[in-house]
Amino acid sequence: MIQMKNVIKKYPNGIIAVKGLNIEIKQGEFAYIVGPSGAGKSTFIKMMYREEKPTSGEIRVNGTDIAQLKDKEIPFLRRGMGVVFQDFKLLPRKNVYENVAFALEVIEEKPENIKKRVSDVLKLVGLAKKANMFPDELSGGEQQRVAIARSIVNTPKVVIADEPTGNLDPETSWEIMRLFDEINARGTTIIMATHNKEIVNTMRKRVIAIENGQIVRDERGGDYGYEF
């Protein structure tokens, strides 16, 4: 579902963050992206949802080369993917229900479908009872659950997560990871950059290690492989 060929990313300041990536991630896979700080993991991930445009190379998402997309076509790409961030990025003035519903409103989903979809995903993430609460009334783990609910409410084929447990304590991180595992078990591809060694070594998945802008390891059921 995602293929990269000779992808290079040079930022305007001259830093070459990604130096010729070649990778294929198939529908239904769960892949961790690991590697040292500054290795290029976020850049790699941002190019998948066209937050960053590659300097050269090809990035195919379900066959379309997204490196060639015009800016006005990007929303269509994003309809098919969910994105989850370390800092949740919830809308502070909207409650839990509204934060999740908003993702469907912007794509002009029919109001009668919105209610059902939002309550289904809030149930899935265990927040049905907190639908009326606001982000600042929730714990970090709960806020991340809302963000995950928002990312899957449109039933995307892939969820891309950049360090989703980076702001959470170990126990909460596990709960969030179990949720991602369940979403993956329902058929959604998960691509996740993480520094969480314990989780990578326990919840074994495909491990793609990036160092200095290049893939240095790609193993199914691999371990984290670093001491940090």
Is residue 43 near ligand ATP by the rule CB under 6 A?
A: yes
Q: Can residue 194 be called a binding residue for ligand ATP (CB under 6 A)?
A: no
Using CB under 6 A as the binding rule, whether residue 76 contacts ligand ATP is answered as: no
Question: Which span (12-20, 57-65, 128-136, 182-190) binds ligand ATP, by CB under 6 A?
Answer: 12-20
Instruction: Check binding of 226 to ligand ATP (CB under 6 A).
Output: no
- 42 scored as a contact of ligand ATP (CB under 6 A): yes
Site pattern 21..40 for ligand ATP (x: CB under 6 A): --------------x-xxxx
Min dist CB 5 to ligand ATP, Å, is: 19
Instruction: Please say which residue, 15 or 185, places its beta carbon nearer to ligand ATP.
Output: 15
Q: Nearer to ligand ATP by C-beta: 34 or 183?
A: 34
> What DSSP line would sit under the chain, residue for residue?
-EEEEEEEEE-TTS-EEEEEEEEEE-TT-EEEEE-STTSSHHHHHHHHTTSS--SEEEEEETTEEGGG--GGGHHHHHHTEEEEETT----TTS-HHHHHHHHHHTTT--HHHHHHHHHHHHHHTT-GGGTT--GGGS-HHHHHHHHHHHHHTT--SEEEEESTTTTS-HHHHHHHHHHHHHHHHTT-EEEEE---HHHHHHS--EEEEEETTEEEEEEET-------
- Specify the residue, 13 or 93, whose C-beta has the smaller distance to ligand ATP: 13
Residues that bind ligand ATP (CB under 6 A): 11, 13, 15, 17, 35, 37-43
